[in-house]
């Protein structure tokens, strides 16, 4: 009897609920929550959890505001930061991030020979030397190499040892690489980096930086004044820096693109200024890298003393060294300060197709106290 009465009562309540939901709409979400609370405590707990989770997801999707007060939520949505790859490495000035944060392998540039843009004839053999410093914390052993990275190799080896000795941190090393100018006229550049014994490529603080040889191969005239630092300049004191400075005690050579000639006129062609070491019978010599002389080529230049150096008295000669190392004189001129200059013109036809080193030689004719000359537009013309 009780079971029947209970069943009827439950059925009546279900009918009453059905009638309410079919004829009356809850005006606000608050009424719905009140009804759920009367049904079951577990139900309200579940719905409350769902509402909180939904609200948190909405806030996360629309804002990166401060994290929620609950500490356990903070690791879930960390504040984003820029990726390192979004910052371009600078080419100069500030220091970019290092691939090796320990600074184990790191080089620094000190000096180089063969300035960028030096001019050569096709087939000219030359060498370039870089002086680098070990600015890292690891020693460069004899298994560390110089490696070709990009550009035109110009006959350079793909790799070669940095040195035949270990280079400790703080020490410098000279790296010399042989090249041959390509046959076609144009600009050429060979870029290099260093490689550890484990095969790790590195160079400078700027990860993209290389060291390189960059030349111009000429198909027409070659002006020796545009590539004069490719020559080895010597005096009785030894090897000279190039370019030098006027008054350097050991002798000097430098270029001038607005020279004032001995007669007082100013020219707009490049000239070389050659000054002698201050000692009797002094000399200054510039030996250029071996080059293939074009057929029917000629050498030309304008020779004169420095204006105002009235005691200037020199002998200037044009020479070449053949492939056997023998030296030959092509011409010699005596120059004094007389407010005039000499036009040099030498036939190089006998050297056509041969690979030789052109040598410029200046000698004092007695006291060298004012022996400074200009060599305006010294050219080899095919």
Instruction: Find tokens 């005006």 and name the residue.
Output: 27
Global confidence as pTM: 0.58
Q: How far apart are CA 48 and CA 58, in angstroms?
A: 15
Higher-pLDDT residue of 377, 220: 377
Class of domain 223-381: mainly beta
223-252: pLDDT as tens digits? 899 889 989 999 999 999 999 999 898 999
Any residues with CB less than 8 A from the CB of 356 and at least 6 apart, and which? 290, 291, 293, 320, 321, 322, 323
Q: How far apart are CA 112 and CA 212, in angstroms?
A: 10
pLDDT value at 78 more than 60 = no
Report the mean per-residue pLDDT for the chain.
Answer: 79
- Polymer length of the chain: 382
Architecture of the structural domain at 107-218? Sandwich (2.60)
Antiparallel, parallel or unpaired: β 211-217 and 118-120:
parallel
Asked if 107-218 and 223-381 have one fold, the answer is no
100-128: pLDDT as tens digits? 667 899 999 999 998 898 888 888 888 99
333-358: pLDDT as tens digits? 999 999 999 999 999 999 988 889 99
pLDDT value at 318 more than 70 = yes
pLDDT value for 204: 96
**What is the share, in percent, of the chain residues with pLDDT greater than 90?**
58
pLDDT value for 330: 96
Three-class SS string for the chain? CHHHHHHHHHHHHHHHHHHHHHHCCCCCHHHHHHHHHHHCHHHHHHHHHHHHHHHHHHHHHHCCCCCCCCHHHHHHCCCCCCCHHHCCCCCCCCCCCCCCCCCCCCEEEEEECCCCCEEECCCCEEEEEEEEEECCCCCECCCCEEEEEEECCCCCCCEEECCCCCECCCCEEEEEEEEECCCCCEEEEEEEEEECCCCCEECCCCCCCCEEEEEEECCCCEEHHHCHHHCEEEECCEECCCCCCCCCCCCEEEEECCCECCCCCECCCCEEEEECCCCCCCEEEEECCCEECCCCCEEEEEEEECCCCCCCEEEEEEEEECCCCCEEEEEEEEEECCCCCEEEEEECHHHCCCEEEEEEEEEECCCCCCCEEEEEEEEEEC
Domain ranges (residues) in the chain? 107-218, 223-381
11-64: pLDDT as tens digits? 343 333 333 343 333 344 444 444 434 444 444 344 444 443 444 344 433 433
Q: How far apart are CA 113 and CA 129, in angstroms?
A: 5
Any residues with CB less than 8 A from the CB of 130 and at least 6 apart, and which? 109, 111, 112, 174, 175, 211
136-167: pLDDT as tens digits? 999 999 999 999 999 999 999 999 999 999 99
């Amino acid at each position: 009897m009780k079971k029947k009465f209970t069943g009827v009562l439950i059925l009546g309540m279900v009918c009453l609920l059905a009638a309410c939901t079919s004829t009356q709409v809850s005006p606000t979400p608050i009424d719905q929550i009140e009804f759920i609370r009367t049904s079951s405590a577990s139900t309200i707990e579940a719905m409350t959890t769902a509402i909180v989770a939904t609200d948190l997801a909405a806030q996360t999707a629309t804002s990166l505001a401060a994290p929620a007060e609950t500490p356990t939520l903070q690791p879930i949505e960390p504040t984003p930061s820029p990726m390192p790859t979004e910052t371009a490495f600078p080419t100069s000035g500030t220091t970019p991030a290092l691939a090796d944060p320990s600074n184990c392998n790191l080089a620094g540039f000190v000096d180089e020979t063969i300035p960028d843009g030096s001019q050569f004839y096709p087939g000219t053999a030359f060498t370039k030397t870089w002086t680098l410093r070990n600015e890292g914390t690891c020693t460069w052993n004899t298994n560390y190499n110089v490696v070709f990275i990009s550009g035109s190799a110009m006959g350079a080896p793909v790799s070669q040892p940095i040195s035949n000795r270990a280079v400790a941190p703080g020490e410098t090393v000279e790296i010399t690489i042989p090249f041959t100018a390509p046959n076609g006229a144009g600009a050429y550049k060979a870029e290099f980096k260093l490689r550890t014994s484990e095969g790790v490529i590195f160079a400078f603080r700027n990860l993209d930086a290389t060291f390189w040889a960059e030349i111009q191969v000429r198909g027409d005239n070659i002006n020796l004044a545009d590539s004069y630092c490719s020559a080895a300049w010597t005096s009785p004191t030894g090897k000279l820096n190039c370019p030098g400075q006027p008054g350097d005690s050991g002798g000097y050579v430098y270029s001038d693109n607005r020279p004032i000639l001995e007669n007082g006129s100013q020219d707009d062609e490049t000239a070389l200024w050659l000054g002698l070491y201050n000692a009797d019978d002094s000399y200054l010599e510039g030996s250029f890298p071996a080059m293939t002389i074009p057929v029917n080529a000629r050498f030309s230049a304008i020779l004169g003393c420095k204006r105002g150096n009235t005691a200037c008295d020199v002998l200037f000669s044009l020479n070449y060294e053949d492939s056997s190392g023998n030296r030959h004189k092509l011409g010699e001129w005596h120059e004094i300060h007389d407010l005039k200059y000499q036009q040099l013109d030498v036939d190089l036809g006998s050297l056509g197709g041969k690979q030789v080193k052109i040598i410029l030689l200046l000698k004092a004719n007695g006291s060298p106290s004012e022996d400074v000359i200009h060599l305006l537009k010294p050219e080899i013309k095919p």
